[in-house]
Amino acid sequence: MFKGLGGLGDMSKMMKAAQEMQGKMAQIQQDLETMTVIGESGAGLVKATATAKGELTALDIDPSIFVASEKEVVEDLILAAIKDAQARATERAQAEMKKIADELGLPPGMNLPF
């Protein structure tokens, strides 16, 4: 009697999976705001802290590098630490998105968010 409605069950499963994915994506976006990464340069003389979303939250500079004649070196170290923190933030965000994709059974190479 309901033979022609067999596809509706699949549609229901797809809708449920889509809602689940949407919920997980919202949660991971919140989590990325609180996860932190630390980039560094100059063997740890300059450290930049950022969220996994790439927002710079702190900068720690060893006072030993503050020599007027080394101003350009200090600027380069600061910039390098910030870039390292941003790169680590991107890596962390991608790793978290991959975890979600794996949990949802998405095929490899399918990038989240879409």
Let me know if residue 66 belongs to a domain: yes
- Residue 16's H or E segment, with its range, is helix 6-34
Q: What does the pLDDT read at residue 73?
A: 92
Let me know if residue 38 belongs to a domain: yes
The domain that holds 71 is classified in CATH as 3.30.1310.10
Confidence of residue 1 (pLDDT cuts 50, 70, 90): very low
Count of domains for the chain:
1
Answer yes or no: are the C-beta atoms of 87 and 48 closer than 8 Å.
Answer: no
- Residue 40's H or E segment, with its range, is strand 36-41
Let me know if residue 112 belongs to a domain: no
Q: What does the pLDDT read at residue 112?
A: 58
Q: What does the pLDDT read at residue 101?
A: 80
Let me know if residue 29 belongs to a domain: yes
Q: What is the pLDDT of residues 35-83, one digit of tens each?
A: 999 999 999 999 999 999 999 999 999 999 989 898 999 999 999 999 9
Let me know if residue 71 belongs to a domain: yes
Let me know if residue 109 belongs to a domain: no
Supply the range of the domain harboring residue 50.
10-104
Look at 104 and 56; give whichever has higher pLDDT.
56
Let me know if residue 87 belongs to a domain: yes
Let me know if residue 53 belongs to a domain: yes
Look at 17 and 79; give whichever has higher pLDDT.
79
This prediction's pTM? 0.71
Answer yes or no: are the C-beta atoms of 52 and 32 closer than 8 Å.
Answer: yes
